[in-house]
Amino acid sequence: MTEPAPEPSSASSAGDAAPPDEQYADAYSEGYGEGLREAFREVLSHVGRGHTVGEIRVLVESRLARIREDVSGKRRNLLGPPRRPAWGALLRPPATNRPEPETMPRLARGGSYLFREDRPRHALAFVGRSGGEYARILCVTTNPPEFAGVPRSRVEVLRLALPSPGLGASEGELDPSGLGGRIKEATEALGGVLVYLDAVEVMSTEYSLDTTLKFVNFVTAQVARTGSAFVASVDPGTLEERDLRRLQRSFNIVS
C-alpha cells in the first residue's frame, strides 16, 4: 500500500507567493504529516518483526523519550551538510555515568540494545546495572570504559585494531573477524556474556560500514542464540542518516 501524495500548497496552486501566515501553515502541515508517516511506519515495522504488545509499548516509550534529540538532529542536517567526523569525535572518551532514562527496559537475555548518544553514558549505566547477571562482560572498544558496580576482574577488554597502511594490527588488537571468533567462544560458554561495543564509528571508518554491519548482525544473532546480551553505544552525528537507520535495524531496542 502506497502513501497518499501530499496535497499541493495554496502557494503552488495559485502560482503566486502566499502570505507569511499561509507559508508557515503549509510548512507546519507538511512537517506534521511527515512526522505522522514516520511514526506509523516505525510502529508497523515493530509489528512486522513479531514484537509483543508489551515490547512495542517499551519501544514507543523509548522513542518518545528521544524526540527532542531527533528533532535537533534533523534541524542540524537542514542547516548544513553532514561532515565526516574528526578522530576526536570517533575516539569517544567514556563520560561519567548518569542514570539511564526511566523508560529503559531491563536487560533481557538474548536482547540487543543500541544507545544513540554523543558520549557513552546511558549505555555504561545500563551495563553497570545489569552486568551482574552474566558471567563476564566483553568490551569491544578503543578506549576501555569503567562500569560502575562491576569489578574489573569480570570485564575482558577486546581492543579494536587500527591498522596502519601496509601494516597489520598491533599485538593484542583484533580485527572484526578476530573479534567475532572471541565473541563466539565466550557466548557459547556456560553462563553467557554481555557484549558491550562503543567502537562503531571507528570500525566503520577503518573497515567500512558494510563490514561493521556484518559484525553487528553476527553479534546480535549470536547473543540471541546463546542467551547472552549485546549493548552498543553510537554517536548519531558521526553517521549519515541512511547508515544510522541501517545500523538501528540490527537491534531489538533503540534508545
**Which is nearest to 36 in space by CA: 59, 1, 3, 13?**
3
**What residue spans of the chain are helical by DSSP H?**
10-14, 20-48, 53-65, 67-79, 87-90, 122-130, 176-187, 200-207, 209-226, 241-248
Q: Which of 13-17, 121-125, 251-255 has the lowest mean pLDDT?
A: 13-17
Please answer whether residues 179 and 140 qualify as being in contact, where contact means their C-beta atoms are separated by less than 8 angstroms: yes
- 154 versus 68: the higher-pLDDT residue is 154
Please answer whether residues 145 and 94 qualify as being in contact, where contact means their C-beta atoms are separated by less than 8 angstroms: yes
Q: How confident is the model at residue 147 (pLDDT cuts 50, 70, 90)?
A: confident
Mean pLDDT of the chain: 77
What was the pLDDT predicted at 63? Answer: 64
pLDDT tens figures, 7-26: 554 444 445 667 777 777 77
Please answer whether residues 192 and 229 qualify as being in contact, where contact means their C-beta atoms are separated by less than 8 angstroms: yes
CA–CA separation, 87 and 243 (whole Å): 19
The angle subtended at Cα 54 by Cα 223 and Cα 135, nearest 5°, is 30
Q: How confident is the model at residue 48 (pLDDT cuts 50, 70, 90)?
A: low
Q: What is the DSSP letter of 131?
A: G
Q: Which of 97-101, 147-151, 250-254 has the lowest mean pLDDT?
A: 97-101
CA–CA separation, 64 and 255 (whole Å): 9
What was the pLDDT predicted at 151? Answer: 84
What was the pLDDT predicted at 153? Answer: 87
Q: How many CB atoms lie within 10 A of CB 127?
A: 30
What was the pLDDT predicted at 12? Answer: 46
Question: Is this prediction's pTM over 0.85?
Answer: no
Q: How many CB atoms lie within 10 A of CB 141?
A: 20
